[in-house]
Amino acid sequence: MTGLMAGKRGLVMGVANDHSIAWGIASKLAEAGADLAFTYQGDAFGRRVKPLAEKVGSDFVIPCDVEDLASVDAVFAALGERWGKIDFLVHAIGFSDKNELKGRYADTSRDNFVRTMVISCFSFTEVARRAAAIMPDGGSLLTLTYGGASRVMPNYNVMGVAKAALESSVRYLAADFGETGIRVNALSAGPVRTLAGAGVADARLMYNFQRKNSPLKRPVGLEEVGGAGLYLLSPLSSGVTGEVHFVDSGYSIMSMPRIEELKE
């Protein structure tokens, strides 16, 4: 895949460490020759993100907390100043109070509902609008979602509702930007062991259940999610927009385990 992204520049938002899905995608983009800029949330993450960025030849690392609109504006001002334009953007950002990622969805508080929606859903719309303004030659925008958007996953609760809204916003943004050659897609990853993933109660049990009950009978690796991300951000997917692309070992197609397994 070397050379596929040569001459292309883009922003990766959401690297916390080398287990992050954003890092899996960034590694594949760098291998394919892309120039990358990174954002990080707060100094503690910054100390981890800067050496990772260096590994892929980037010194373009900018703080950004999507709850702070001034920091979002500063990111796009910096991109405009240094690069003038970009070709792609990865949004791999999600947050909800972990005290509400357990028990019943019905008990979600108003404050956490709003905060989860702003960080995990609306931030994509906000950065997509700013990114589109510096994509005169078209481009590709990608966000991360999860199967809990369309089917009930225990404990995923308000994150599932936010992901449903995020997937819907992908379709609306794809329609808004299509005429300018900007594509917008979501990648729906199977469970990956990350910081955010660990915030969902009993994540390990869900991880094991999905592994056991998916057609491929194994979890997806960061490399596989990264490869699919590269595809969605590259010209290989030039006819694809408004799509939710599953990279989940096929789990989402199943309604129940195979009959042989039920008899075990």
Q: Which residues are annotated as a binding site for NAD(+)?
A: 14, 20-21, 41, 65-66, 93, 163, 192-196
Rg (CA), the chain: 18
Q: Please calculate the CA angle 163-105-122 and round it to the nearest 5 degrees.
A: 30
Residue whose CB is less far from ligand NAD, 65 or 178: 65
Out of 146, 207, 231, 251, which one is annotated catalytic? 146
The binder of ligand NAD chosen from 10, 139, 160, 197 (CB under 6 A): 197
The amino acid that residue 192 corresponds to is V
Q: How far apart are CA 149 and CA 162, in angstroms?
A: 7
**Interface residues for ligand NAD in 74-113 (CB under 6 A)?**
92-95
Backbone φ, ψ for residue 151 (5° rounding)? -130, 150
The verdict on 141 binding ligand NAD (CB under 6 A) reads no
Binding residues, as ranges, are 14, 20-21, 41, 65-66, 93, 163, 192-196
Q: Which positions ≥6 away from 108 have C-beta within 8 Å?
A: 100, 157, 158
Looking only at residues 6 through 65 of this chain, which bind ligand NAD when binding is defined by CB under 6 A?
A: 14-16, 20-22, 41, 45, 64-65
CB of 187 vs ligand NAD, minimal distance in Å: 8
> Which residue of 127, 189, 230, 232 would you call a contact of ligand NAD, by CB under 6 A?
189
DSSP 148-211: GGTS--TTTHHHHHHHHHHHHHHHHHHHHHGGGTEEEEEEEEPP---HHHHTSTTHHHHHHHHH
> Which of 27-35, 170-178, 195-203, 252-260 is the region at the interface with ligand NAD (rule: CB under 6 A)?
195-203
Task: Examine the residue annotation and report whether 146 is marked as an active-site residue of this protein.
Answer: yes
Q: Which is nearer to ligand NAD, 64 or 79 (CB)?
A: 64
Q: Which of 191, 219, 226, 229 binds ligand NAD (CB under 6 A)?
A: 191
Terminal Cα-to-Cα distance of the chain (whole angstroms)? 43
Residue 219 in the binding site for ligand NAD (CB under 6 A) = no
Helices marked H in the chain: 21-31, 42-55, 69-83, 110-117, 123-132, 157-177, 195-198, 203-212, 222-233, 259-263
Q: Which residues bind ligand NAD (CB under 6 A)?
A: 14-16, 20-22, 41, 45, 64-67, 92-95, 119, 144-146, 189, 191-192, 194-197
* Residues involved in catalysis: 146, 156
